[in-house]
């Protein structure tokens, strides 16, 4: 990027923005795929282990993910 006239600050900002975007999109995709997998897995494991399908609590999936997404201090 320096070859086309960008300075260090612009390059750093662009890489940071791309990193945040990719991290958020991967978290979102994982959350969308993870909830159905957790639901099906809990039914299957409940039937195998205790002969009763287990119930799913979405709060146990969503709350830890929201805590993980909180702003963090970055040391550079």
Domain with 20 in it: 2-68
Residue 47 domain-assigned (yes or no): yes
Cα angle 66, 72, 76; round to 5: 150
Assign 3 a pLDDT band (cuts: 50, 70, 90).
Answer: low
Segment among 2-6, 45-49, 64-68 with least mean pLDDT:
2-6
Quote the CA–CA distance of 5 and 52 in Å, as a whole number.
64
The predicted model scores a pTM of 0.55
Residue 36 domain-assigned (yes or no): yes
Quote the CA–CA distance of 57 and 69 in Å, as a whole number.
20
Split into its structural domains, the chain has a count of 1
Residue 73 domain-assigned (yes or no): no
Residue 74 domain-assigned (yes or no): no
pLDDT tens for each residue of 8-43: 888 888 888 998 899 889 888 887 888 788 888 888
Residue 15 domain-assigned (yes or no): yes
Quote the CA–CA distance of 72 and 4 in Å, as a whole number.
32
């Amino acid at each position: 990027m320096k070859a086309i006239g960008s300075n260090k600050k612009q390059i750093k900002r662009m890489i940071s923005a791309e990193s945040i975007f990719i991290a958020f999109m991967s978290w979102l995709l994982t959350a969308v795929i993870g909830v159905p997998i957790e639901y099906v897995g809990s039914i299957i494991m409940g039937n195998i282990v205790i002969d009763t399908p287990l119930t799913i609590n979405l709060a146990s999936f969503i709350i830890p993910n929201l805590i993980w997404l909180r702003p963090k201090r970055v040391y550079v």
